[in-house]
Amino acid sequence: MFRAVLIFAIAVLATLIAVESGPVQSCCPAPPSGKPVVNADQTVILLWDAATKTEHFIRRASFKSEADDFGFLIPSPSKPELAESGNDAFPTLQKLTEPEVVQRPYPKGGSGGCACDAAKHAMPAASAPDHVSVLEQKVVAGFDASVLEATSATALTDWLRDHGYAYSPEIAVWAKPYVDAGWKVTALKVAKSADGKTDKQVTASALRLSFQTDRPLFPYREPDPTSAAQTLGANHRLLRIYFLSNERVRGEMTKEAPWTGRVAWAGRVSPEHRTKVLEQLRLPDANVPKDWWLTEFEDNWPYKAAPADVYFARDPDQREQKREPIAEYVAVPRPPDGSAFLMVGAIALTALAPRWRRWSRNLI
């Protein structure tokens, strides 16, 4: 009997401890006239091969617009190669750079293209009449694409007007530094689906532009988006850039207006991940570095005119950088309070009382 009562007391104590210490579950757009459009969130992969001065620009973007269809323009220092690119590389890189999840105890008492740079290398004005040359036209990744070379910003906006794109003075101001520097402009048209005409949010398919350039860049300049953003109620957008090269890089705009992007993650990429990403991007193993380093940037891209594009260069800091771990809080096992011990003591004393009385009588 005594043994059974003692076992019961121990079981009660164990149950109380388990109840108190158990784990807690852790809780530059070109719309039709009068139809505003702005760049919304963008995720971009930039793959840079310094040996061949080749940049692969893979863009997965979204827009906010009231237009049923609209176009957008991408400048590049040289004629780009256009190709469809798979979307699967984006979640792969996101998984690679996601923060580690670690378990932590609850806190005590807690509970459950650059205008300035382009101007420096501006080509002398041509004596021939202004015109636009169409270097290539093709349908790719669901876009109607035209690669253009213009002798003046006016000629470019005239071509855009004649082909259903925007031709506002703001577009001409935006285009002038690129045209003066002899850059090419890829004009792309994307249309909303028939059942999405009332949806202001439009997501485009991933598209790759590969081109030669002395310096890798992201074309950050756009016609002043302030008014269009206010009209559409757009207050916030995030630009995420996955930059793949053979070293860690930093982004630069101008000394007077530094780029607002910050490094969120930086580290080497394994050969296995390199092979996987190349397959997902549908890129051959050429004009890409053999050893990869990934630098991920996050930028709360303001809705205001930027003075320049973002160029990338070697970062003097070549250390790896990871995201802060995500804490999953759990309760810490702790001894039960005094009431539990009192309860067990009372049970034990009740079991021992008869034997104590017999032992006491034997002593008398």
Q: Tens digits of per-residue pLDDT, 270-292?
A: 999 999 999 999 999 988 999 99
- For residue 121, give the DSSP letter: T
Per-residue pLDDT at 30 exceeds 60: no
Q: pTM higher than 0.85, yes or no?
A: no
* Residue whose C-alpha is closest to residue 65's, from 168, 245, 202, 222: 202
- CA–CA separation, 167 vs 157, rounded Å? 5
Which amino acid makes up residue 65?
S
Q: C-alpha angle with apex 45: 195 to 177, nearest 5 degrees?
A: 90
Which band of pLDDT confidence, cut at 50, 70 and 90, is reported for residue 103? confident
Residue with tokens 């994307």: 190
Does residue 216 sit in helix, strand or coil?
coil
Q: What is the pLDDT of residue 130?
A: 87
- CA–CA separation, 81 vs 78, rounded Å? 10
What is the average pLDDT score of the chain?
Answer: 77
Q: What is the pLDDT of residue 105?
A: 75
More confident residue, 333 or 66: 333
